[in-house]
């Protein structure tokens, strides 16, 4: 199947219906990109929080029994408990 140049021509030759569809597609694309940015930032924040929580659990696990109270207080101060 031969592809014509007309299939890829997005110039002024677009009919009104095609032009409005193209504009709707552009708006949808912009909206999806914004949603992706929000989701990406949320994922980054969640992963950072997960790393912090794992580190906090490791600190608590490795603390000697007589140091655990101090470790828990430090974790509470960092809002990890």
11 found inside a domain:
no
Task: State mean pLDDT over 68-80.
Answer: 91
Q: Containing domain of residue 30, as a range?
A: 16-77
9 found inside a domain:
no
Report the half-sphere exposure of 32 (CA within 13 A, side-chain side).
Answer: 6
**Helix/strand/coil (H/E/C) assignment for every residue in 19-63:** HHHHHHHHHHHHHHHHHHHHHHHHHHHHHHHHHHHHHHHHHHHHC
Cα 29 to Cα 24, 42, 58: the distances in Å are: 9, 20, 43
Q: Taking 90 as the threshold, does the pLDDT of residue 19 lie above it?
A: no
pLDDT digits (tens, 9 = 90+) for 21-62: 989 999 999 999 999 999 999 999 999 999 999 999 999 999
Count the domains in the chain.
Answer: 1
């Amino acid at each position: 199947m031969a592809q014509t140049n007309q299939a890829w021509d997005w110039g002024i030759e677009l009919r009104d219906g095609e032009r409005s569809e193209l504009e709707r597609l552009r708006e949808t694309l912009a909206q999806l990109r914004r949603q992706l940015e929000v989701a990406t930032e949320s994922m980054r924040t969640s992963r950072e929080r997960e790393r912090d929580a794992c580190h906090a659990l490791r600190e608590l696990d490795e603390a000697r029994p007589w140091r655990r109270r101090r470790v828990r207080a430090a974790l509470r101060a960092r809002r990890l408990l």
